[in-house]
Amino acid sequence: MNDMLTSRERFGLLVIDEQPDRCNIMPLITSHAATVKGMKLRDYYTNGENMARAQIATVEKYEHDAISIFSEVGIIAEAMGSEFEYPENDLPILRTPVLEKKDIEEIKLPSPRADGRLPVYLEAIEYAYAALGDRIPILAYIPAPFTTAMMLSDPNKFLIQTIREPSRVESIVDRSLAAAIELCYHVIDAGGLPIIVDPLASSSVVSPKTYRQYALPSERKLVDFLHRYDLDIILHICGDTSPILDLLPQTRADLISIDQVNMQQAIDKLSSRVRIIGNYDTSRLAFSTPEDIEAEVRYMVEGALHAKKGYIAATGCEVPIKAPEKNVVAFIDTVKEVGWYWV
């Protein structure tokens, strides 16, 4: 069947509880776009126009339903002073967390138009929005406060502090929340729909208790702030979130993106309250064959398509940078074959 709607129209229907022509397809195609465009990764994440061009080329190639402005979760931390190294063909690497040099009280809130690579992100959003904003959502990934907090610190020390120095962790998270909000103001004005990503709050990284204590409240505050704008907010947490599935609706996010979770379990627990996004295993995109991917994606979509509040077919995490294009195509084409609501 041919698409009847643009991606913009399709997503617009989903978030007002209407079934679109087919389910939205939003694999987390972030830095993989550089591969599609034949661009060095450093050129991708240090130049907004490049990032946008790569994303546009990717959407034109795969015809999925979102542009994803993102490279990695350190951007806010970097703008607050953490130092990153930029390998030519890899993602930025955290070298010196700012809290190794300064105390949290000394860290200024970043200026999104000036600090770190935040201007790169904003430029990418503006470029993509000007090019395709009428027909496709421009998703702007916002590192959640807990994840940013860990990128401001030595991660190991930070994790210990979550147990030993809760008030310090809270103040770092609060500062990170303020920075995230400041970034969101600019992201929204640029035309991006913020999607909150909190990979370091995953149960693969921290305990449910730690999640409940630090990550969840800050996610909720960020969601609440964005709800002032009446925006529909996606929360993505990578890895295994099975232990915190029941907690996720407390964030008040409108769409929850899951990774290593049993889809049926997620549907049972969440689908009457939020729209579900997920959750094809991205490693399969890197190492499997189109035939296997087709069978697996078909199974996934058929099981999730009629989730009560709606479903977006996606990968559980970012599409691997070097994933073979034919595999990504197999994923998208399969959803386009089986993911129809209007017949």
Partner 1 sequence: MYQDLTPEKISLREWSRQFRMVGDSEIRQFKYYNNDEWGIYLSPPATFMVYGSRQLKKLKFDNSLAALRLWGFTFNESERLFRARQSGKRIIAAMGDLGTVPVIALAFPDCIPFYPDCTWWTPFFNESTVLLDKASELGTPEASCFVRSTLAAFHKMAYFPKPDILFASTGASCDDYSCIMQMVEDMGYELNWLEIPFRRQRRSLHVPEEHTVAESGFEYPKRFETYLVDEYKRVWQKMEALTGTGDLEDLNASIEKNNRIRRLVNEIKDLTQTAAVAPFPALEMMIIEFGNLYGYADIDEWLDILKMIKQTIADRVEKGIGVLASDAVPLAWVTPTADPLLLNIVEDLGGRIVATEYVINQALTTIEEGIEPFHALARSFMNASLIGSTEERVRQIARGVDSGKIAGVIITNMLGCSHCAMETRLIEEKLKNVPVLAIDIPAPLGITAQLRTRITAFIEMLR
- Given the complex with partner 1, which of 229 and 287 has the nearer CB atom? 229
Torsion from C-alpha of 45, 117, 148, 12, nearest 10 degrees: -70
The site for partner 1 (CB under 8 A) is made up of 4-6, 8-10, 12-13, 16-18, 20, 129-130, 133-135, 138, 185, 188-189, 191-193, 228-231
* Residue closer to partner 1, measured from CB, 105 or 230: 230
Numbers of helices and strands, H then E, in the chain: 15, 10
As measured in angstroms, the least distance from the Cβ of 135 to partner 1 is: 6
As a whole number of angstroms, the distance between CA 310 and CA 162 comes to 35
CB-wise, 56 or 317, nearer to partner 1? 56
Closer of 66 and 261 to partner 1 (Cβ): 66
Distance of alpha carbon 220 from alpha carbon 215, whole angstroms: 8
> CA-CA distances (angstroms) from residue 213 to 34, 195, 207?
37, 21, 10
CB 309 within 8 A of CB 266: no
Question: In 126-160, which positions are buried (b, 16+ CB within 10 angstroms) versus exposed (e)?
Answer: bbbbebbbeebbbbbbbbbbbbbbbbbbeeeebbe
Residue number, 6 or 47, with CB nearest to partner 1: 6
Least Cβ distance, residue 24 to partner 1 (angstroms):
13
For residues 4 and 93, which CB has a smaller minimum distance to partner 1 in the complex? 4
- What is the number of other CB atoms lying within 10 angstroms of the CB of residue 23? 26
d(CA 94, CA 342): 47
Instruction: Give the residue with the Cβ less far from partner 1, 235 or 319.
Output: 235
State the minimum distance, in angstroms, from the CB of residue 220 to partner 1. Answer: 14
Taking the complex as a whole, the smallest distance from the CB of residue 63 to partner 1 amounts, in Å, to 15
CB of 102: closest distance to partner 1 in angstroms? 28
> Which is nearest to 7 in space by CA: 70, 63, 56, 57?
63
Q: b/e map of 71-100 (b: 16 or more CB within 10 Å)?
A: bbbbbbbbbbbbbbeeeeeebbebeebbbe
Minimum Å gap between C-beta 185 and partner 1 is 6
The answer to whether 277 touches 314, Cβ cutoff 8 Å, is yes
| Residue 256 CB partners (closer than 8 Å, separation 6+) | 234, 235, 248, 249, 266, 270, 274, 275, 276, 277
**CB 40 to partner 1: min, Å:** 31
CB nearer to partner 1: give 232 or 333.
Answer: 232
Phi and psi torsions of 340, nearest 5°: -90, 140
CB of 312 to partner 1, least distance (A): 16
Smallest separation (angstroms) from partner 1 to the CB of 340 = 14
List the one residue out of 168, 201, 195, 170 whose CA is nearest residue 183: 195
φ/ψ of residue 287, rounded to 5? -120, -5
Identity of the residue, 135 or 209, whose beta carbon is nearer to partner 1 in the bound complex: 135
